Amino acid sequence: MGKGERTRAAILDRAIRLGSQLGLEGLSLGQLAEELDLSKSGLFAHFRSKEELQVRTLDRAAERFVEVVVRPALAAPRGEPRLRALFERWLAWPELVRQPGGCIFVAAAVELDDRPGPARDRLVELQRQWLATLATAVRGAQAEGHLRADVDAEQLAFEAYGIMLVSHHATRLLRDRKAVERARNALERLIASARR
Amino acid sequence: MGKGERTRAAILDRAIRLGSQLGLEGLSLGQLAEELDLSKSGLFAHFRSKEELQVRTLDRAAERFVEVVVRPALAAPRGEPRLRALFERWLAWPELVRQPGGCIFVAAAVELDDRPGPARDRLVELQRQWLATLATAVRGAQAEGHLRADVDAEQLAFEAYGIMLVSHHATRLLRDRKAVERARNALERLIASARR
């Protein structure tokens, strides 16, 4: 990475942290500049608009997600172990890449669902990619004979997504200390119901 | 209802609609006054602050939720039929009480999780009440012998909540036309896994 790229990555990492708390609409170039001790005009050299900042923040978050969730999980053996590794790291994602306000994608989803534009489009693309990655892992587990061939891979990915959402909700809003345990139980039940 | 109460209910019903799209923070007494053709000072006679408006909007939404979801479901026979009726009406809730931005509680949950205050406190209280209502329905189904006695009622309520959240997410953000069908499949699987 050149100096420009490093600066840009540092800005975006801070934007992920802030965005997890304030939402993507709450991100301001002014506040970012202040927190990073950069001039606002220096920041504008990297991102021409707030909209561009939002899209690049989502891209950077997705890049980090691949680094800390997807890639390490792909090191697990294909099939059920890999699917489990994906679930396990996904559960830990808001801590693996520090997001004090919880998963930035969840915050952005509720914020952007009614706001057409490039940030929404990108978020939808990223969420679909992730659901497709999960479905592929389910198919891998079917190919290995770990899960039944008649399981609907997209349905299983959809249900896993629901478990992550409620785990986030119960942790963040309800401060439910059993949330992660309940999420693990639910994922176990989901896998067990799909097993041969 | 007296005239004052009717006016207040009409204001709050409009606030539910607007809040589903803009969030509770996006609610403004000014915009509400304009949409309802009331004076801003007239509106202030009903709600002394934006904070009070937010709390009363949540209360009114909960009141409507009981009217259109809980009470009709309680007319179904105790046990699995009642649990199913709750799920079925819950799925329809954003249409039963028009919320063009989707369920106001989901929008508020992500918005308020990082904002301490009376609105967050009320939301947490309401969400816990609803989870308790669901758990009670599960226990009713256990008492009737429809569901196994060893099923963890809170865990089942937690998982049902996840299915609703992902259904909302897939419908609102991803515009997934299969979302409601997938949610129904997931609820069926959840009930089936708990059956005797």
Q: Using CB atoms within 10 Å of the CB of residue A175, give its burial: 0 to 12 exposed, 13 to 18 middle, 19+ buried.
A: exposed
What pLDDT score does A136 carry? 98
Select the more confidently predicted residue: A126 or B47. A126
Provide mean pLDDT across the span B62-75.
Answer: 97
Are the CB atoms for B140 and B78 separated by under 8 Å? Answer: yes
What pLDDT score does A13 carry? 95
Q: Which of B113, B124, B178, B180 to mutate to test the interface with A (most CBs of A within 10 A)?
A: B113
Contact between B101 and A114 using a beta-carbon 8 Å cutoff: yes
Count of helix runs (H) and strand runs (E) in chain A: 10, 0
Provide mean pLDDT across the span A164-189.
Answer: 96
Tokens of A157: 């990915």
Residue (of A38, A54, A74, A84) closest to A190 by Cα position: A84
pLDDT at position B5 over 90: no
Are the CB atoms for B113 and A171 separated by under 8 Å? Answer: no
Find all residues with CB under 8 Å of A14, minimum gap 6, and list them.
Answer: A32, A35, A36
In chain B, what percentage of residues exceed pLDDT 90? 76
> What pLDDT band is residue B31 in, cutting at 50, 70 and 90?
confident
**Predicted model pTM:** 0.94
pLDDT at position A107 over 80: yes
Are the CB atoms for A85 and A72 separated by under 8 Å? Answer: yes
- pLDDT tens, position by position, B77-109: 999 999 999 999 999 999 999 999 899 999 999
What pLDDT score does A5 carry? 86
Q: What is the rounded distance in angstroms from the CA atom of residue B195 to the CA atom of residue B144?
A: 11
pLDDT, chain B, mean: 94
pLDDT, chain A, mean: 94
Provide mean pLDDT across the span B122-132.
Answer: 98
Query: What is the value of ipTM here, to two decimals?
Result: 0.93
Provide mean pLDDT across the span B125-130.
Answer: 98
Q: What is the rounded distance in angstroms from the CA atom of residue B36 to the CA atom of residue B30?
A: 10
pLDDT at position A178 over 80: yes
Q: What angle do CA B7, B130, B93 make, to 5 degrees?
A: 60
Task: Say if B74 is an interface residue toward chain A (CB within 8 Å).
Answer: no
pLDDT at position A114 over 90: no
Residue (of B110, B129, B171, B167) closest to A19 by Cα position: B110
Task: Say if A172 is an interface residue toward chain B (CB within 8 Å).
Answer: yes
Q: What is the rounded distance in angstroms from the CA atom of residue B134 to the CA atom of residue B10?
A: 29
Contact between A174 and B101 using a beta-carbon 8 Å cutoff: no
Among candidates B102, B114, B193 on the partner chain, residue whose Cβ is nearest the Cβ of A113: B102
Q: How many CB atoms lie within 10 A of CB A71?
A: 11
What pLDDT score does B169 carry? 95
Task: Say if A185 is an interface residue toward chain B (CB within 8 Å).
Answer: yes
Tokens of B130: 């609803």
pLDDT at position A4 over 90: no
Domains of chain A, by residue range, sit at: 57-194
Residue (of A102, A112, A95) closest to A165 by Cα position: A102
Are the CB atoms for B48 and B83 separated by under 8 Å? Answer: no
Q: In this predicted structure, which of A156-160, A175-179, B42-46, B139-143 has the lowest mean pLDDT? A: B42-46
What pLDDT score does B38 carry? 86
What pLDDT score does B131 carry? 98
Q: What is the rounded distance in angstroms from the CA atom of residue B158 to the CA atom of residue A171?
A: 12
Provide mean pLDDT across the span B149-158.
Answer: 98
What pLDDT score does B60 carry? 97
The DSSP line for A53-83 is HHHHHHHHHHHHHIIIIIHHHHTSPTTHHHH
Are the CB atoms for B144 and B80 separated by under 8 Å? Answer: yes
pLDDT at position B171 over 90: yes
Residue (of B90, B57, B60) closest to B72 by Cα position: B90
Question: Is domain A57-194 given the CATH code 3.40.640.10 in the classification?
Answer: no
Q: Give the chain A residue whose CA is nearest to the CA of B167.
A: A162
What pLDDT score does A30 carry? 86
pLDDT at position B158 over 80: yes
Q: Which CATH homologous superfamily contains domain B3-194?
A: Tetracycline Repressor, domain 2 (1.10.357.10)
Q: Which of B158, B168, B178, B195 to mutate to test the interface with A (most CBs of A within 10 A)?
A: B158
Q: What is the rounded distance in angstroms from the CA atom of residue A184 to the CA atom of residue B128?
A: 21
Find all residues with CB under 8 Å of B169, minimum gap 6, and list them.
Answer: A109, A161, A165
> What pLDDT band is residue B26 in, cutting at 50, 70 and 90?
confident
Q: What angle do CA B157, B110, B26 make, to 5 degrees?
A: 135
pLDDT at position B1 over 80: no
> What pLDDT band is residue A184 in, cutting at 50, 70 and 90?
very high
What pLDDT score does A19 carry? 92
